[in-house]
Each structure stands twice: as structure tokens, then as C-alpha cells.
Copies of this chain bind each other. A is one copy, B any other.
Amino acid sequence: MERTRATPKPAQGGPAGPRVTRDAVLDTAMRLVMETGTEGLSMRKLAAELGVAVTSIYWHVGNREALIDELVERVLQDMGTIRVTGRTPVTRIVSIAQANRRMILDRPHLISLVRERGLESLMMLPARRALVREFAAAGVHGARAALAVQAVQFQVAGFVMLERALTGHPQEPAQVQAWLAEVAEGDPELADNLHTPGAPDALFDVAVRSMVESLLRED
């Protein structure tokens, strides 16, 4: 919305241009976020990376919050649109959910940014549009459509935010290991598949498909 300063075209033969531009600041900031997440982005590191005093960053972008806002907007531009495939309502809607999940998983920095600012709803917008359209085509309208769309999107967003957290943790407190082992005693096949993250793709597919089928069933 309100950029702090406009970035002028770099003048060629005129007076020496600025040492950094607003765009350069944002580019470097985005690179830092992609490399180390939001918690690895500090105003001072950013300034050092650009070879400039910290205070210069403030002149270009305002403050850290405004900087993150700008990064969020950039990533949103990059989200693209949802491709819907399939011919039955169920497969088409499931394909939207899958594309939504893929889009987010392919952009880990998006999760980091969105978490920091509590903007989870933003990353669901393109898919939301597509879901509204598909449910309408399947004859679901009004309050029932709202419920269906939200149910699918909660599923997608929750799945994405969790599968990274629930799968990637090698060292858990010892007590937890013991509890986990105890949960499935007597069914070793269950135990194996319960602890290994397994195939999140298959899990996601089953979960979403079963829910969509129920949502589309007349009651």
C-alpha cells in the first residue's frame, strides 16, 4: 500500500546514485529469509550484507514490520493461480486441494513469513476462489458452500503447517519416545507406520478425498 519511498531508476552519467535501492534491500532480505527463515532476518545482518549502515535500511523500508509486509506481498504475487484438473466434482476439488498444498510446500519461505505475521489466510486465497467455483458447479451454494470451502481449506492449511513440524524432528524428549512405543503395543505394523511420517501425499489424498465425498453427498 504505502511504500515508504519510491525507488528511482538508476541514473547513468548523472550524480552518483544511491548506495542501495529499496529493491536491493528487499531482494537481499528475501534471500536471507529463504536461507534462514524470518528468524534469521535481522536489520543489522541485512545492512551488513548490503555494506551499508543499519540506519540506511530504515530510511528505505521504514522498519522491520514494514519490511516483512513487503516481502509477504512479493511472495503473494509469486503464488500464481490454481490449475484444476479432473472431470468429476470430487477429483476436481481434490486437485485444487493438492495444488494448494503443493504451492505452499514449494515455498517454505511463504510459511515462515506467514507465520510471523499471522497471515495464514493470505496463502489460501487463490485456492479459495477455485473452490468456490467448483462447489458452485457441483450445486453447493450459500452457507453450505461456505462450510465446505472452509472445511477443505482448514484441512489443507493444517496439513501443510503440521507435516513439516510433525515429520522433521529427530530428537524428541526421551519420555516421548517411550510413550510412542507404548501406544501401539501388540500391533507392530501399526507401530511402524505410526512413527514414520510415511507417505504424507497418500495420507493427504485419503483425508481430503474422503472429506470432499462426504461434503458432496446430499443429506
**Which A residues lie at the B interface, using CB under 8 A?**
1, 69, 72-73, 118-122, 125, 128-129, 132, 136, 141-143, 145-147, 149-151, 154-155, 157-159, 161-163, 165-166, 168-169, 172-176, 179-180, 182-184, 187, 189-190, 192-194, 198, 202-203, 206-207, 209-211, 213-215
Contacts and interface: CB of A to CB of B under 8 A. Distances in A.
Contacts of A187: 132, 136, 141-142, 145
Contacts of A209: 214
Given A120-B166, A141-B187, A146-B193, 8 more contacts: A122-B176, A125-B176, A125-B180, A125-B183, A151-B207, A154-B162, A206-B215, A207-B211
A1 B179 CA distance: 14
Given A141-B187, A157-B162, A121 B151 contact: no
Contacts of A72: 173
A182 B133 CA distance: 12
Nearest to A174: B1
Contacts of A120: 162, 165-166
Given A158-B158, A183-B128, A147 B206 contact: yes
Contacts of A168: 118
Nearest to A196: B146
Given A155-B207, A207-B154, A129 B169 contact: no
Contacts of A150: 194, 198, 203
B155 A190 contact: no
Given A158-B159, A162-B157, A1 B173 contact: yes
A132 B1 contact: no
Contact of A132 (B119, B129, B184): B184
11 contacts: A1-B173, A121-B169, A125-B183, A132-B187, A143-B193, A147-B206, A157-B158, A157-B162, A161-B161, A209-B214, A210-B214
